[in-house]
C-alpha cells in the first residue's frame, strides 16, 4: 500500500544535549532541537496486520494539520519547525476518517463497515496522569503521525479504544460528507477541550475573541457560536482565512496588519466591557498576549491553544486587578470530547462545519497539498486517500 513517509536526520542542535530517553528511543521532546533536513515521499509498505485490540481502517480522508506543515518546513538552520514530540521516519497524518475492514478478536463495540475517526493522542492508561483522568497529559504518550505511524496511508491498524464511530452522521449527511467531516473531529475536539473542559466553559451572552483563523480557531468559532457567544470576533493576519471565519459564524473579523487601534475598536464593540473569553489559536504570543491582557473583561478567560516556542511578557498586575484566568490546553482525548463533538454535528448545531474544508487533493498529489499548506491561506486541506 501507499503511505506518506517523513524522514529527517537526527542531528542535535548546537548546545542541546538529548536526554537519555531521547537518544535511546529517537523520540525528540522538541523536534525543532533534533530533526534536520526533512524529506517527504510516497513509498510502498506492506499492509498492516490486525492485533487483538485493534481495528483495520481503510482511510478515506486525512487532513493536513499545522503540526504536519511544521514537520515539512524547516528553519534557517535546517531543523523542522515542529516543536512538539517527533520520532522519524514516520508515516504522517492524524486527522482521519475511514471504514473498518477488519476487527481484532478482543475488540467490542465495532464491526466491519462502521465509519470511524479516532483520537491521535495515544494515551497509555497506566501512568499517574492517565489514571487520574488526565489522558491528554499522559507521560508515555505517542502521537499518531508524529511519533508513531499515522493515517496518510491506505490502511491503518489502530487500537479500538482510541476510535469513535460516525455512523449516526449518515442520518444528516451523504456518506462522502460523513467521511470528510469525520476528518475534522480531531481539530474540533482540541477547540472543544480548550473552551469547555480545560477552560470550564462560559456563560451564554459572553463576548468572545478568537486569535488565529486556522482550523482550530475556526473550530472555536463554531463551538463558541453554538454555545451562545453574544458577539464573536476573529483576528488573523490573512484576509482569506478571515473570510472563512465570517462564513462560519464570526460577527466581526479584523486583519491585525491592517487594523489601526484594534484595542479601541474591540473595546467599542464590547461596549467597554472587553471579552469574557479569548481563545489563542495562533501560536503568536508576542502579538496576541499584549492584546489579550488588555482586552480581557473582569474575570475574563484566556484559553491558550497555539503551539510555538514563543516567549511573551505579560503585565501580571492586570491579571491580578481583573482576576483574569489564563488556561493552557492540549489534546482532545477523554471527557466525552469526541462523542459530544459528533453529537453536536449530528444534532445540526455545527452546520457550518463543512465550510472549514477549502481544498481536497487526491493522495497522488499530496506534495502539492503540503506546498499549499505552507501558504496558510486555507481553512482545512483534506487529502482523499481511498
Ligand atoms: Zn492536528
Ligand atoms: Zn499515560
* Range from 47-61, 125-139, 168-182, 307-321 carrying the lowest mean pLDDT: 307-321
- Provide the whole-model pTM: 0.96
Find the domain containing 18 and state its range: 2-187+332-384
Q: Do 103 and 173 belong to one domain? A: yes
- Residue 321's H or E segment, with its range, is helix 316-322
Q: Do 310 and 344 belong to one domain? A: no
The C-alpha atoms of residue 209 and residue 275 are separated, in whole angstroms, by: 6
Q: Do 70 and 128 belong to one domain? A: yes
pLDDT at site 233: 98
pLDDT at site 282: 94
Which ligand has an atom closest to residue 141 CA? Answer: 2
Q: Do 146 and 210 belong to one domain? A: no
304 is a domain residue:
yes
Q: Which of 160, 155, 159 is nearest to 46 (CA)?
A: 155
Q: Do 175 and 96 belong to one domain? A: yes
State the average pLDDT over residues 135-140: 96
Q: How confident is the model at residue 347 (pLDDT cuts 50, 70, 90)?
A: very high
pLDDT at site 354: 96
pLDDT at site 29: 94
Which ligand has an atom closest to residue 185 CA? Answer: 1
355 is a domain residue:
yes
**94, 186 Cβ separation under 8 angstroms:** yes
Last residue of a domain, one of 282, 303, 328: 328
Last residue of a domain, one of 308, 328, 348: 328
Which ligand has an atom closest to residue 92 CA? Answer: 1
- Residue 25's H or E segment, with its range, is helix 20-25
Q: How confident is the model at residue 330 (pLDDT cuts 50, 70, 90)?
A: very high
Residue 102 exposed, middle or buried by CB count within 10 Å (0-12, 13-18, 19+): middle
pLDDT at site 125: 97
125 Cα to the center of ligand 2, angstroms = 5
- For cell 488565529, the residue is 212
In tens, the pLDDT along 27-71 reads 999 999 999 999 999 999 999 999 999 999 999 999 999 999 999
Mean pLDDT of the chain: 96
37 Cα to the center of ligand 1, angstroms = 22
User: In the chain, which ranges are E strands?
Assistant: 2-10, 35-44, 54-63, 90-91, 95-103, 115-118, 121-122, 142-143, 155-159, 163-165, 207-211, 231-236, 252-255, 275-280, 296-304, 325-328, 357-362, 380-384
In tens, the pLDDT along 227-237 reads 999 999 999 99
The C-alpha atoms of residue 338 and residue 63 are separated, in whole angstroms, by: 17
193 is a domain residue:
no
316 Cα to the center of ligand 1, angstroms = 31
119 is a domain residue:
yes
Cα 219 to chain center, whole Å? 9
Q: Is the pLDDT of residue 311 over 90?
A: no
- Read off the CATH number of the domain in which 299 is found: 3.40.50.720
Residues paired with residue 116 on neighbouring β-strands, in sequence order? 98, 165
Q: Which of 187, 176, 183, 192 is nearest to 152 (CA)?
A: 183
Q: Do 40 and 148 belong to one domain? A: yes
pLDDT at site 23: 94
pLDDT at site 335: 97
192 is a domain residue:
no
Q: Is the pLDDT of residue 260 over 80?
A: yes
Q: Do 294 and 278 belong to one domain? A: yes
195 is a domain residue:
no
Q: Do 179 and 213 belong to one domain? A: no
254 Cα to the center of ligand 2, angstroms = 40
Greatest distance between any 2 Cα atoms in the chain: 62
154 Cα to the center of ligand 1, angstroms = 19
Q: Do 311 and 233 belong to one domain? A: yes
Q: Who wins on pLDDT, 259 or 371?
A: 371
201 Cα to the center of ligand 1, angstroms = 22
- Read off the CATH number of the domain in which 23 is found: 3.90.180.10
State the average pLDDT over residues 135-155: 97
Q: Is the pLDDT of residue 312 over 90?
A: no
Last residue of a domain, one of 280, 305, 328: 328
Q: Is the pLDDT of residue 307 over 90?
A: no
Q: Is the pLDDT of residue 309 over 90?
A: no
Q: Do 137 and 222 belong to one domain? A: no
211 is a domain residue:
yes
Q: Do 119 and 268 belong to one domain? A: no
Q: Do 108 and 228 belong to one domain? A: no
User: In the chain, how many domains are there?
Assistant: 2
Q: How confident is the model at residue 308 (pLDDT cuts 50, 70, 90)?
A: confident
Q: Which residues are catalytic?
A: 67, 70
Which ligand has an atom closest to residue 191 CA? Answer: 1
Amino acid at each position: 500500500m501507499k503511505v506518506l513517509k517523513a524522514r529527517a536526520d537526527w542531528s542535535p542542535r548546537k548546545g542541546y544535549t538529548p536526554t537519555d530517553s531521547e537518544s535511546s528511543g529517537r523520540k525528540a521532546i522538541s523536534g525543532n532541537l533534533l530533526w534536520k533536513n526533512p524529506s517527504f515521499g510516497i513509498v510502498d509498505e506492506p499492509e498492516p496486520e490486525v492485533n487483538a485490540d485493534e481495528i483495520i481502517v481503510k482511510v478515506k480522508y486525512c487532513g493536513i494539520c499545522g503540526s504536519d506543515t511544521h514537520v515539512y518546513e524547516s528553519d534557517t538552520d535546517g531543523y523542522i519547525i515542529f516543536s512538539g514530540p517527533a520520532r522519524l521516519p514516520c508515516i504522517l497524518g492524524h486527522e482521519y476518517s475511514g471504514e473498518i475492514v477488519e476487527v481484532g478478536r478482543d475488540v467490542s463495540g465495532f464491526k466491519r463497515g462502521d465509519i470511524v475517526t479516532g483520537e491521535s493522542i495515544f494515551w497509555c492508561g497506566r501512568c499517574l496522569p492517565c489514571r487520574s483522568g488526565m489522558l491528554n497529559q499522559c507521560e508515555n504518550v505517542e502521537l499518531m503521525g508524529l511519533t508513531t505511524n499515522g493515517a496518510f496511508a491506505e490502511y491503518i491498524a489502530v487500537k479500538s479504544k482510541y476510535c469513535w464511530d460516525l455512523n449516526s452522521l449518515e442520518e444528516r449527511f451523504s456518506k462522502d460528507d460523513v467521511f470528510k467531516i469525520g476528518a475534522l473531529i480531531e481539530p474540533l475536539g482540541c477547540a472543544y477541550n480548550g473552551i469547555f473542559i480545560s477552560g470550564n466553559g462560559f456563560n451564554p451572552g459572553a463576548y468572545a475573541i478568537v486569535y488565529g483563523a486556522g482550523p482550530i480557531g475556526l473550530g472555536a468559532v463554531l463551538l463558541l457560536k453554538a454555545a451562545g457567544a453574544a458577539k464573536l470576533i476573529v483576528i488573523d493576519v490573512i484576509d482569506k482565512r478571515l473570510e472563512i471565519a465570517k462564513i462560519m459564524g464570526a460577527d466581526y473579523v479584523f486583519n491585525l496588519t491592517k487594523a489601526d487601534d484594534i484595542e479601541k475598536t474591540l473595546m467599542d464593540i464590547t461596549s467597554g466591557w472587553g471579552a469574557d473569553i479569548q481563545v489563542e489559536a495562533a501560536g503568536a504570543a508576542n502579538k496576541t498576549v499584549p492584546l489579550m491582557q488588555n482586552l480581557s473583561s473582569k474575570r475574563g478567560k484566556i484559553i491558550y491553544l497555539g503551539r510555538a516556542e514563543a516567549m511573551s511578557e505579560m503585565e501580571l498586575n492586570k491579571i491580578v486587578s481583573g482576576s483574569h484566568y489564563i488556561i493552557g490546553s492540549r489534546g482532545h482525548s477523554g471527557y466525552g470530547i469526541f462523542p459530544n463533538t459528533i453529537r453536536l454535528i449530528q444534532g445540526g448545531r455545527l452546520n457550518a462545519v463543512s465550510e472549514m474544508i477549502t481544498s481536497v487533493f487526491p493522495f497522488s498529489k499530496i506534495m502539492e497539498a503540503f506546498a499549499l499548506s505552507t501558504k496558510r491561506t486555507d481553512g482545512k486541506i483534506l487529502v482523499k486517500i481511498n
